[in-house]
Structure formats: structure tokens, C-alpha cells
Structure 1
Amino acid sequence: MTGTRRKDTRQRILDTALELFLERGYDQTSLREIAERLDVTKAALYYHFKSKEDIVGGLGDEAGRRIDELIAWGREQPATLATRRELLSRLNAALAENAPTLRFLQENQAALRRMQSAETFKQRMHGLGELLSDPDWPLVRRVRSVSALFTVYFGTFAMEELDDGTTAEEKRAALLQVAGEQLLAADQEG
């Protein structure tokens, strides 16, 4: 029971910190404010996280866990067009599930550069790129395949800013469609 309660408290801290970071900004949010919002002492907060950087690391770990699972899944699959499409579909779902955290991380890159999370992000993107491409393919085919990844990932943030009446689901579906077309074009070049 104690382990579950500790995990629940840790998750409450992460959720509350993210809420405050999105409302006020990372630099404008203090550990004291997070503790106050949670109605706990700073000592209770320090038991789980020693700093705001630790909290951000926890947020990044939460979002990154899904990507790591996706990479592990992809490595177990045959290197086919169907697998590459499914990989992007699963990535699209993971991005939707972790949208608030990923938006925070995307919007606060300057403040977060000094943390290890930037290098971990780079490694994850590299891992996804390796699953979508093959080093033996011609350059244009590799570019098309990796472009499909960037269409889904970075397109999610770009499309979020568009206020054109389409829903988030419609935008994600359109991004996935375009990424699929890129994968198909790359596959036809082989």
C-alpha cells in the first residue's frame, strides 16, 4: 500500500507541476507554489523531487516511456511498410496521450537545454528514425522516410497552433495520412 501511495503522490506532484508550468511558465513557478497547490509541505515535495529540474525529468520520463516502448516494439517487428505505418500510428497516439507534457517540453526548450532530457530526446528520435529507414537505401528514400517521422512529430505542434475549426483528432489524422504517403513514396523508390 505504501508503494502505491508513494507512486500516487509522485504522480500528483507531476500533474500539478505540469499544470502550473503550463499556466505560469517554468521559470515563474517555484517549488513552494507547487507544494501550496498540492497542500503539502515543501519537505513532502522534496521527498519525491529535490528540484524543478527533477520534476521536469520525471515529466520527460513519463512521456519518454511510451516512446521507448514504441522503439522496443518496432525492433521486434519485420522491417516492412506495414510496420513503419503502424509505428507512426502508435507514435501519433502516444503524442496525443502526452500532449500537455510534450507541449510544455516543446515550449520551454531554452530553459531545458541544460538538462539531460534534450540528449535523451535526440536519442529517441534517432531510434525512431532507424526504424523507419535503412542506411543502405538511397539518400532520397531515407529522407522521405525520416520526413514521415517529422511530419507526425513536429507537425503535431505546428498544427496545434492552427485555429481553423478542425479538431485535434482531424489534424492528427491528416498528419498521419501525409506521413503514410511519404512512407509509400519512399517504399516505391526501393
Structure 2
Amino acid sequence: MAGRPTNRTNTRQRIQDVALGLFVEHGYDKTSMREIAEGLGITKAALYYHFKAKEEILLSISQGLGAPVDELIAWARTRPRTLETKREVLRRYSEVLKDATPLFRIMQENQAALRALGIGQTLNDRVAAVAELMYEHGASVRTQVRLSDALVSVHFGAFSLHALAGDPEEKRLALLESALETLESVSAECR
């Protein structure tokens, strides 16, 4: 049947899920392919059938989590730069970041080891593309900075809120609400 995941796809996803958990718990550098295989209850040979190295696993995780950001960017580039489009960019970006938090933690804690994989540069390029969607061509510096504030709140807040007590979804929505209030105030200033 078309569109139905295969066992290979399911196994690859399981590998990614287990590896991501181990990378977050122990650190990328300190996690071995043997530990990933043990976490899955499979042999290293079975793991190597799907991924030749942990770098491949992390790259596949990054690509999977980055795809929704790429889709958001493509969608927003076809839209006019209205207040409603910017609201929707912030909403969708906040939702995407909810799933990407573990990857960003790994990247933050293992920067030197991951630089060679190019994941950081790809992330920077995606963030720059999302930021470009928020800017107003010809707007004042103050307006540009305020628009950037709204995006930065969503982006960096998604990774800093884990230290605060409370329900993760409630914190994400409060952060999004704050960013949308900033966006609304910029819009009101420009009228």
C-alpha cells in the first residue's frame, strides 16, 4: 500500500528515538553505537545495517526535525508579509520547536564535536530564513528590532523554559502569547 511505513522505516525511527534519548542523557560524544544497539535490544550488526555511524543517525534526526521548518519557510515565502502571516509564522515555528528541543540541547552541549557535521550551519541558515520572513523592508531599525524580539522570544525561549516548573505546553503557549503581543505592539506602532 502506498504511504504506509515499512518495517525498515519503523526501525530507523526507533533507532533515531533511542539514539536521541541517549545523546540527551549521556551526551553525543559519550554515546557509542554499542549503547544504541543495546538500548534497542538489537545487535551492532543490525544497527549498522541502518546507520553506519552515530553521525549518520544525528544527521537523519536533524533532517527530520528540520523538514517542518523548511515547509514553514516555503509556505511563508508564498504569502504576503502581513501581520496575519507573521502571526502564523510565529505559531507554526513555536509548534515545530516543541519537537526539536532535544536536538538543540545536544547541539548546545556538543558544539565542537558537531561542527564538522554541518548541522549547526544548517540550523543557522534555517533561523536566518525564518527571521527574514518577519522583517519589513524599508521599516525603521526599531521596528526591525521589535520584530526580531518576537521571533527570538519563540526561538530561544523554547530552549530556556525547561528550567522553569510547569507544564511544557502551558509554558510554550505563554511564550507564544508574549511573542504575539510584541508583534501586535509593533503593528500598532506602524499604523
Q: Considering the TM-score relative to the shorter chain, is it more than 0.5?
A: yes
8 Å contact kept, 2:62–2:103: yes
* Aligned-pair CA distance for 1:41: 2.4
8 Å contact kept, 1:81–1:187: yes
1:171 matched residue in structure 2 = 171
2:114 matched residue in structure 1 = 112
SS of structure 2 residue aligned to 1:114 = helix
State the alpha-carbon separation in 2 of the partners of residues 116 and 179 from structure 1.
29
8 Å contact kept, 2:86–2:134: yes
* Aligned-pair CA distance for 1:125: 0.4
State the alpha-carbon separation in 2 of the partners of residues 153 and 9 from structure 1.
31
8 Å contact kept, 2:107–2:120: no
1:30 matched residue in structure 2 = 32
SS of structure 1 residue aligned to 2:6 = helix
Partner amino acid, structure 2, of 1:185:
S
92-101 or 25-34, larger mean C-alpha shift:
92-101
Q: Which runs of 5+ in 1 are unaligned?
A: none
TM-score for both structures, normalised by structure 2: 0.89
Residue by residue, what CA displacement relative to the aligned partner does 1:17-76 show, whole Å, maximum 9, x if unpaired? Answer: 012112222111100111122222222222222211111111111110111111111112
Aligned mate of 2:127, from 125, 128, 151: 125
Aligned mate of 2:41, from 39, 46, 55: 39
Residue by residue, what CA displacement relative to the aligned partner does 1:156-190 show, whole Å, maximum 9, x if unpaired? Answer: 11121113xx3212211221121112212322343
Aligned mate of 2:153, from 151, 154, 162: 151
8 Å contact kept, 1:63–1:102: no
Partner amino acid, structure 1, of 2:188:
Q
8 Å contact kept, 2:131–2:151: yes
Aligned mate of 1:54, from 50, 53, 56: 56
Residue by residue, what CA displacement relative to the aligned partner does 1:2-23 show, whole Å, maximum 9, x if unpaired? Answer: 9712111111110110121122
* Aligned-pair CA distance for 1:97: 3.2
The equivalences for 1:71-110 within 5 A come to 71-110=73-112
8 Å contact kept, 2:101–2:159: no
TM-score for both structures, normalised by structure 1: 0.89
Partner amino acid, structure 2, of 1:58:
S
Count of residue pairs the alignment pairs up: 188
State the alpha-carbon separation in 1 of the partners of residues 23 and 12 from structure 2.
16
Instruction: Describe the shift of the 1:3–1:156 C-alpha distance in structure 2 as closer, same or farther (beyond 3 A).
Output: closer
Residue by residue, what CA displacement relative to the aligned partner does 1:127-180 show, whole Å, maximum 9, x if unpaired? Answer: 1011111332211111111221110010111121113xx321221122112111
8 Å contact kept, 2:79–2:85: yes
Partner amino acid, structure 1, of 2:96:
A
1:185 matched residue in structure 2 = 185
State the alpha-carbon separation in 1 of the partners of residues 55 and 113 from structure 2.
10
8 Å contact kept, 1:156–1:172: yes
State the alpha-carbon separation in 2 of the partners of residues 3 and 172 from structure 1.
31
